[in-house]
Amino acid sequence: MRLADALRVDQKRVIAFTGAGGKSTAIDHLTKEISVSNPVVVTTTTKLHRNQSSIAEAHLIAQNPGELSRLSTLLGNHTSVLVTGEVVEGEPKWSGLDQSTIEALHTITQTAGAVLLIEADGARGCSLKAPAGHEPVIPAFVDLVVPVVGLDVVGAALNGKWVHRPELVASLLGLTMGDRLGWEHVASLVSDPSGGLKGVPQNAEVRVLLNKADTPDRIAEGGIIAGRLLASPRISAAVIASVTKPNPVEEVIGRVAGVVLAAGDSKRLGQPKQLVNWRGRPLVWHAVQAALGGGLSPVVVVIGAEAKSVCQVLAGDRVIFVENPEWADGLSTSLNAGLSDVEEHAEAVVLLLSDMPFVDEGLVSALVTEHRRTLSPLVAPRAGGHRANPVLFDRVTFPALHAVQGDHGGRGLFQLFSKVWIEWDESILFDLDSPEDLRRLRELE
C-alpha cells in the first residue's frame, strides 16, 4: 500500500511529521507519491540537513513572507518545491521558517491546491525521542500529525545511540539509562501528552508511523504497539511500514466498530427474529459474539421493537445500546443511528444483521484483516458467486451511508465505491425471513 493512502493524504492538506526513526525518508517517499498527481511543498519549522535538498524538484530560500513571491511560479513549473531559510551558521543544515513566513506559505499552498509537508521535529538519526521544551514546532493550521518511531528500537538499550534525549525518555517512562526498551515503552511514550502527542493542535488528526517494519518480527511488534496506541482516543490509527520500500505499508491498524442492527419487528416471520433461540441463545447474541470475537470495538446494538428483551438477553456483554425511535421507517434509520454513535473515532464499521446465524468471528476477523492490508472502501464476503453480509465500510463511505434512505442498507454503495471480496462458504447466505426459513434453521440446529 502507498504511504499516501495509509495516511489518507487525499483528506489532509497540511501534514506535520514529528518523532524519530525516518521522518525525512517518509517525507521524501510521500513527496514522490503525491507529486505524480498533485503539487507538493516541503518545509521545516526546525532544521533540515543540506543533503536533503533533493527532496523536491526546486528549492526556494525564504527568510520572510515577502521572499515567498516566487513560489507560485515555481509551483507552475515544478511538481514539488522545498522551502527553507538560509544555512544555519556552523551547521550543514537549512534553517526552518519562522511563524509569519510559514503562515504565509500555508496561504499560498492552499490557494495553489498543493499539499504542505512539514518536518516539525529533529532526532539526529535516532529511532526514538522525547521532545525538549521547545519541541516539536507544529503550526496550529496542521490537519494531520504523524509521530514517527523506528521499530528497530524495540529491544535496544536506552542510550544515545538509539534514543534522542534519552534522559527525557527515562524520566517519562520511569526507566534508567541502559534499560532495554520493550514494545510497551514505545507505546507509552508515543501516546504520552508530553511525548509523541506533545504540541498536537486540537483539531488535527494523529496517525502514528511505525517505521522500519522490515522483518516479520518487527511487523508483529508493530501490531502489538498499534493495539496499545489505540487505547488513546487521540490516535486514529497506526501505520506499520518500511518507508525505504517501493510499496512501504504493511498494515494500517485503526478502530473498526461493529453495528448490529436489531431494531425491526420481523413481520414476515411473525415473531422477532433477533430473539429466535438457536443453539441455546437468541440470534442477536450470536451476532454480537461474532462482532466481539472478530475484534470489533466498540460494538453498538441498535434497538427498537423488543428493545427491553434485546437488552436483557445481552446483559453483561460489552456492547453499547443505541435506541432508534424511528425503526419502523426502515433499515436506513437504524443504520444512521448506529453509525452516528461510532463514526467519530472509527476507521471503518462492520454492519451486522441479527438474522444470519452462520456469520462467525472468523469471517468478521477476515474482513478486518483485509481492510488493514488495503484500506478498501468496501470489504465484503462472497459465497458461490453471490455477495453476502456482513460488509465492512471504510470511513470514506460514511457520508454516502448517511444518505441511504428507506428500508435499504448499504447495497447501493457497491455501485459508488471500489471493493475487495473475501471468498467464504455458502452457509453465510442463509438469513431468517419466513416460517420456512425458521423450519430450515431448526433442522440445522
Give the rounded distance of the alpha carbon of 173 from its chain centre.
Answer: 26
Q: Residue type for 195, please?
A: G
Beta bridge partners of 277: 282
Q: What is the predicted pLDDT for the residue at 267? A: 63
Residue 4 resides in a domain = no
Element (H, E) at 139: none
Could you tell me if 157 and 181 are in contact, meaning their C-beta atoms sit under 8 angstroms apart?
yes
Residues 167-192: tens digit of each pLDDT: 999 999 999 999 999 999 999 999 99
Q: Distance between CA atoms of 376 and 46, rounded to whole angstroms?
A: 36
Of 411, 314, 410, 427, nearest in space to 360 by CA? 427
pLDDT band at 11 (very low <50, low <70, confident <90, very high): low
Minimal CA–CA distance to 129: which of 173, 178, 92?
A: 173
C-alpha cell at 295: 475484534
The pTM score is 0.93
Residue at 165 is within a domain: no
pLDDT at 152: 97
Q: Please count the other Cβ atoms lying within 10 Å of the Cβ belonging to residue 255.
A: 19
Closest to 271 measured CA to CA, from 221, 314, 229, 306: 306
Residue 129 lies in a domain: no
CB 210 within 8 A of CB 151: yes
3-class DSSP assignment, residue 321: strand
Q: What is the CATH number of the domain that holds 320?
A: 3.90.550.10
Which pLDDT does position 229 carry in this prediction? 97
pLDDT confidence tier of residue 271, bands split at 50, 70 and 90: confident
In this structure, of 48-57, 73-82, 269-278, 394-403, the range with the lowest mean pLDDT score is 269-278
Residue whose C-alpha cell is 523536491? 56
Q: Is residue 156 domain-resident?
A: no
Contacts of 374 (CB under 8 A, 6+ apart): 1, 420
Q: What is the mean pLDDT of the chain?
A: 93
Q: Is residue 162 part of a domain?
A: no
8 A C-beta contact, residue 154 and residue 25: no
User: From CA 403, how far away is CA 276, in angstroms rounded?
Assistant: 31
Is 313 within a domain?
Answer: yes
Indicate the angle between helix axes 283-293 and 361-374, nearest 10 degrees: 40
Assigned domain for 248 exists? no
Residue 297: the pLDDT is 96
List C-alpha distances in Å: 112 to 8, 32, 40, 51: 20, 18, 10, 27
Would you give the end-to-end CA distance of the chain in angstroms?
43
DSSP classification of residue 183: H
Residues in Cβ contact with 183 at an 8 Å cutoff, skipping those fewer than 6 apart: 154, 221, 224, 225, 228
Flag whether 283 is in a domain: yes
Q: For the segment 107-164, what is each residue's pLDDT rounded down to a tens digit?
A: 999 999 999 999 999 888 899 999 999 999 999 999 999 999 999 999 999 999 999 9
The domain containing residue 427 runs over which residues? Answer: 256-444
What domain count does the chain have? 1
How many angstroms separate the Cα of 334 from the Cα of each of 54, 339, 353, 363, 398? Answer: 53, 8, 11, 23, 14
Nine-digit cell string for 311: 437488552
In the numeric block, which cell numbers belong to residue 35?
A: 507529486
User: Which stretches of 268-401 are assigned E, i.e. beta strand?
Assistant: 277-278, 281-282, 299-303, 320-323, 348-353, 378-383, 386-387, 391-394
Least confident residue range of 104-108, 192-196, 301-305, 325-329 = 325-329
- pLDDT category, 203, cuts 50, 70, 90? very high
In angstroms, the CA 119 to CA 246 distance is: 21
pLDDT at 440 > cutoff 90: no
User: Who contacts 79 (Cβ-Cβ below 8 Å, separation ≥6)?
Assistant: 35, 36, 39, 40, 57
Beta bridge partners of 59: 82
